[in-house]
Amino acid sequence: MFYEAIFQPSDKMNYNADAKKLAGKKIAVQDGWLIEDGPFKGQNCFYIPNSTLGWIPQCDLIGLKSTSFVQSQEIGKSLGFIN
C-alpha cells in the first residue's frame, strides 16, 4: 500500500541529515512492518521507496492516508527520490 503524510520527526528516532530536511513536508511512504522492540514497539513503520532514509515509525507521520501509486510517484518526484 502507498500512503502520504506530513513527516514530523520525533526526538526519539535518530534520523540522518537527509531525513531532517523533510521535516514538515508531505512525503509518500510504503507500508513496512510491525516494530518489535525499542521505544516504538508495537507501532507500524513505513519507508520512502528509493531513499536511504530508513524506516519511519507511524507516530512521526501526521495525517497518514492511503494514496494511489501514481500520486505517490508524483510526491517522490517532487522530493527528488524518483527521476
Residue 78 included in any domain: no
List pLDDT tens digits, range 11-62.
Answer: 889 898 888 899 999 999 999 999 999 999 999 999 998 888 889 999 999 9
In a domain, residue 13? The reply is yes
- Would you say residue 82 lies in a domain? no
31 falls within a domain: yes
Asked if the structure places residue 11 within a domain, the reply is yes
In this prediction, residue 80 has a pLDDT band, given cuts at 50, 70 and 90, of: confident
CB 4 within 8 A of CB 65: yes
Closest CA to 60 of 51, 3, 1: 3
Mean pLDDT of 57-68: 96
Domain annotation covers residue 80: no
Q: What is the DSSP string of 30-69?
A: EEEEE--SSTTTT-EEEE-TT-SS-EEEGGGEEEEEEE-H
Q: Which three cell numbers stand for residue 28?
A: 509518500
Flag whether 81 is in a domain.
Answer: no
How many domains does the chain divide into?
Answer: 1
- Give the structural domain span for 10: 2-71
